[in-house]
Structure formats: C-alpha cells, structure tokens
Amino acid sequence: MRPTVLWTLVVASLLLFGLARLPLEKSLDTAHRTAGLRTAALNIELREQIGQLSYAAALSGFRSLVAAFLWIEAHTAWEQTAWGRMAGLFQSVTSLQPRSLVYWDLASWHMAWNAAIAARENPKEPSEFLRQRAEREYHELGRDFLLRGIANNPDPHVLHERLGIMLRDKFHDRCGAADAFTAAAEKPGAPPYMKRLAAYELAACQGREREAYQKLRAIYLLGEEERMPSVISLINQLEAQLDIPAAERLAPPAAP
C-alpha cells in the first residue's frame, strides 16, 4: 500500500473515531468548565505546531498520547541542544495537557536553566551582549511556562514554589519570590518550610522589612521546631533595623 494511501486511511480513521467521541468530549468539556478547569483549545496554531496527523489524533481524543510522543521528541531535542525546537515542542505539549504539572515544571526548568546556561556559554557567539540577551530570553520563557501553568493549575503549591525559586535565583527579584512563596504556603499540602522561605525573601525586599519581621515572629512563636538559627538571626537583625523596643526583642542567640 502506498504511503499516501496509508496516511489518508489513518487520518480518516482517526477523524471518524473523533466524530463518534464528539458527544462524550463535549460532555467532558462542559464538566471541566463547570468545575473551573481549563482545557486546551485545538486551534489552527496548534495544528501548525504539531502537524496534521498529530492534530487529527488529538482531535480524536488522544491528547495525552500525542503529548507523550511530543515530550519524547522534546527530550531528543534537549540531547541535541536544539533549544528553539525544544521550546516549540514544550509549547505544544503544555497546550495539549494544560493540567499536567510535570510538563509545565520541566519545561520551565529546561528553558530557564539548561537552555539559558547554554546560551550564556555559547562558544559560537562572540558577542557577550548577545549571549546575555539570549540567556534573559530563555529565563523569560521559563517564567512564562510557570505563569501559564499556574493560570491553568492555581491550587497546587508546586508551580508557585518553582516560580519563587526562579524569581529568586534567575531574576534576583526577592519581592516577587516572597510573594510566590507566600502563595505556595497558602495552598493545600504545602510543606511547612514554605512560610520560612517567604519570610527570608521578604526580609531582603526593600520597604517590606516590618512585614518580614512580623512573619518571622509568627513563625518563631509556632514552637521549638520552627526556631531555626536562620529565623532567630534574621529576627535579631530586623529588630535592630526597625528599632524594636528592647523589652519586645528576642534574647540574642548564645555564643557557641
């Protein structure tokens, strides 16, 4: 059988299966929207990104399968250091599976860490200015993946935490990092250390020192298990900086 005939039969089969599934897909989509979940629209732009056959498969209810294959392709692109192609594949994967935290998380990490470092150290680009600009662009791509991931998955703490780490380590935005960690700390299942991370970053955010002091005091008052040396040290620093009355201050840590 000729490849073109086989291609036509595969696409036709997928489309027929998709038509049969259409009532179920509409029912599921309505249920998702009622529950406040976002679903990816299968539009012309996505079809151009993933190709006709993959688009037909996704239209027929195989979104997760198509996304998995595209993720494998993205991993291959990573191994080949084909950063631009990898970014495009990640865009397609996350569009197909917007409720998957893993895809958003790893896509942002690959962009803001692996691709950004490769751009900064690119031996084929003699201009330091252009290398730094490319690095910043990959940082911004990584941040964009996290922001869109959070928009599609606002309740889990994981992506908020990853955003805090990225803002702190890649953008040196201590205020933004504090807000991201604070948002993470408020989500169900967030680890206890998230409140400390938020307070640490807030202490480095100019103009918000008193807010940081109040948060650190609240953490300290939770009990012995929260009275880390870093917590006590920061409280002591902020007490001096904010001129807290002596009677309200913590006793300074004992000398070793």
Question: To the nearest whole number, what is the mean pLDDT of the chain?
Answer: 81
pLDDT at 62: 59
> Distance (Å, rounded) from C-alpha 241 to C-alpha 144?
36
pLDDT at 92: 86
- pLDDT, tens only, 175-202: 999 999 999 999 999 999 999 999 999 9
User: What DSSP character marks residue 72?
Assistant: H
Measure the CA angle with vertex 20, ends 15 and 22; round to 5°.
Answer: 90
CA distance readout (Å), 229 to 72, 235, 247:
44, 10, 21
pLDDT at 159: 98
pLDDT at 29: 46
- From 144, 141, 174, 139, select the one nearest 159 (Cα to Cα): 144
- From 155, 37, 57, 43, select the one nearest 91 (Cα to Cα): 43
- From 111, 106, 94, select the one nearest 38 (Cα to Cα): 94
pLDDT at 252: 65
- From 149, 148, 147, select the one nearest 179 (Cα to Cα): 147
pLDDT at 202: 97
Spans in the chain with pLDDT lower than 70: 1-63, 251-256
pLDDT at 250: 87
Crossing angle for the helix pair 52-59 and 63-79, nearest 10 degrees?
140
